[in-house]
Chain A
């Protein structure tokens, strides 16, 4: 991280022409001890009363249907009580009534800013439960799916956080780039958001002819856009003032609060599931994991921005591998897991039986349980599956990174200013579909 150019402008007291403090920042003591109440300047009772402010659930700066009840002393936050659950859909319960492959469409709708990465996370967990080894081409395509998701999710984060803090232009830039990824997703899966791209043991479809060229074109130009954002934000006095030293989590606190993903790494804890518990062969890709040091909103911004560059690097490497794997098998060759091609199912008796059994009965993992964590854009998305040997899971648990990161919001907002709450909340990068599930 570069040396700071602007330090704590928000945290300095506001002073009027007579030299009296008009805005008292944090750390000056309680309302009984500090000296800001000069006679005649304030109404005597003004500072004594706490105010209860409700933000959301319908408020653009809460990034979804999050409701915050904030207790204020003046402009300083005494306490934040978040209310979640407005988007609760009971996915985990629904999953207990569905076949494993039928659950994949539900995963799209949890973290709907990175649907492909959720598809991959679920498929990997089922494959772990079954002890299935997927093909190399499938692995590379899944890496591409994950890293594309990381880029679009971070782009939404960047754009919306910029808007929250008063910068409109980067929002347009980032959404323009995001649109290109959505077009690629649509060309691959037929859907822009509800991708459902994976299946147990493989993928729903291979990428269409010429698709790689489109992604290559995206990878070539994305860094230029990111450079522009970098030039706009990283040394911008307003941006630094609004974000540096705001919402600080130390490394110990971040671990104790079970933060994950960019939130954890911005606090200086170098843990990335892709590096430390590799899946999909991530250990064979050449990429760096950015780690912050201050654990504030600014460092989270730096970490996420750098992660997009790194994802771009991974995408380029994966595309090269995909070229070498042209024509290689995509799905595992196990008719109990992967549907036979329709033409064979219509002409070959055995293939038809497998087709029938799989559609009617579903994939059946052996009894057992598996937990698999993957590095999603929001943090560690864990999938915990318990099977009793039938085609429907006994329990499908999502470890929701946004939910667990959001739990630390109250801690981060304590003692901050009301306007900082918006910045801190934006920096958590929540998506309510996943928080509420």
Chain B
């Protein structure tokens, strides 16, 4: 077996990024032949947008957004952006390290790639990272009233925080109205025909509740 870190060169985009953004590029390394660049959180959005628009870079395709929570609880949560230039046929992986003691917040890249819409929602759903500027940051795979936390974090037990009995009880007691989001119920012009108490609850911003 050869070691996982191949003797490959850093992608030339790294030096271009360094020239443009200076110390916002924290470090860069190669793993299995893929270049990984760590970006500082506050400049990450600009750097990603620049990588897309700079003609020499042309990373026009957002392959994936995900996050990694390491087993070591001290290690920061890493946000991973997998970019690709469809014309140059090269990939680049960018990471933002998020300290878990601070609020997990980062600027959304929804305005750069629309493909980020559901990918960011999934990262929010699974890791609790808040993407500021995302127009519709709701849970996507878990239901909207899901109260147990963020499943893919390492401090989340495999079987969930709640006991099986509690999970069953909540599932049976779930309010069917909760499956329509507030947004859906208020867009229809039949809104005024909803029962008074339901309108009242929607006005307060409730999306159904667990009893």
Contacts and interface: CB of A to CB of B under 8 A. Distances in A.
Given A257-B114, A371-B91, A373-B63, A129 B32 contact: yes
Given A386-B68, A395-B68, A437-B141, A69 B1 contact: no
Contacts of B116: 258
13 contacts: A52-B187, A84-B141, A88-B141, A88-B142, A94-B158, A129-B32, A130-B1, A257-B115, A366-B3, A384-B66, A388-B70, A397-B80, A407-B119
A71 B189 CA distance: 10
Contacts, number: 147
Interface in B178-198: 179-181, 183-184, 187-190
Interface stretch (A186-194, A215-223, A228-236, A269-277): A269-277
B93 A84 contact: no
A196 interface: no
B31 interface: yes
Interface string B1-36: 111111000000000000000000000000111101
A50 B187 contact: yes
Given A49-B190, A69-B180, A366-B4, A93 B141 contact: no
A262 interface: no
A369 B31 contact: yes
Contacts of B142: 85, 88
B71 interface: yes
A370 B1 contact: no
Interface of A: 48-52, 69, 71, 79, 81, 83-85, 88, 90, 92-94, 97, 128-132, 253, 255-259, 269, 271, 276-277, 334, 336-337, 365-371, 373, 380, 382, 384, 386-388, 394-395, 397, 399, 403-404, 406-408, 411, 436-437
Interface of B: 1-6, 31-34, 36, 60-64, 66, 68-71, 80, 82, 86, 89, 91, 93, 113-119, 122, 126, 139-143, 151-152, 156, 158, 179-181, 183-184, 187-190
A411 B115 CA distance: 11
A375 B2 CA distance: 26
A252 B82 CA distance: 19
B183 A81 contact: yes
Contacts of A97: 158
Nearest to B143: A85
B152 A51 contact: no
Contacts of A256: 113-115
B4 A130 contact: yes
Contact of B2 (A48, A131, A253): A131
Given A84-B140, A366-B5, 18 more contacts: A49-B189, A71-B184, A71-B187, A71-B188, A81-B183, A84-B141, A85-B140, A85-B142, A85-B143, A92-B126, A130-B2, A255-B86, A258-B62, A258-B113, A370-B4, A370-B32, A384-B66, A407-B119
Nearest to B193: A49
Interface of A is mostly: mixed
B188 A51 contact: yes
A366 B31 CA distance: 11
Contacts of B3: 131, 366
Residue among A97, A132, A271, A384 facing the most chain B CB atoms (10 A cut-off): A384
Contact of B118 (A277, A365, A404): A404
Contact of A368 (B5, B89, B140, B158): B5
B63 to A, nearest CB: 6
A397 B82 CA distance: 12
A371 B188 contact: no
Contacts of B183: 81
B117 A371 contact: no
B64 A382 contact: yes
A382 B93 CA distance: 13
Contact of B82 (A50, A93, A384): A384
B127 to A, nearest CB: 11
A260 B181 CA distance: 29
Contacts of A277: 89, 91
A404 B4 contact: no
Contacts of B63: 258, 371, 373, 380, 382, 399
B61 A258 contact: yes
Contacts of B82: 371, 382, 384, 399
Q: Which 5 A-B pairs have the closest CB atoms?
A: A258-B115, A368-B4, A131-B2, A366-B4, A407-B118
B125 to A, nearest CB: 8
Given A92-B152, A255-B86, A384-B82, A367 B4 contact: yes
Contacts of A386: 68, 70
A10 to B, nearest CB: 25
In the complex, which of the residues B68, B141, B156, B188 has the most CB atoms of chain A within 10 Å of its own CB atom?
B141
Contacts of A387: 4
A384 B34 CA distance: 11
A256 B109 CA distance: 11
B195 to A, nearest CB: 16
Nearest to B146: A85
A152 B10 CA distance: 40
A312 to B, nearest CB: 27
A49 B190 CA distance: 7
Contacts of B1: 130-132, 334, 336-337, 366
Given A50-B188, A85-B140, A93-B152, A384 B158 contact: no
A203 B152 CA distance: 30
A50 B189 contact: yes
B137 to A, nearest CB: 14
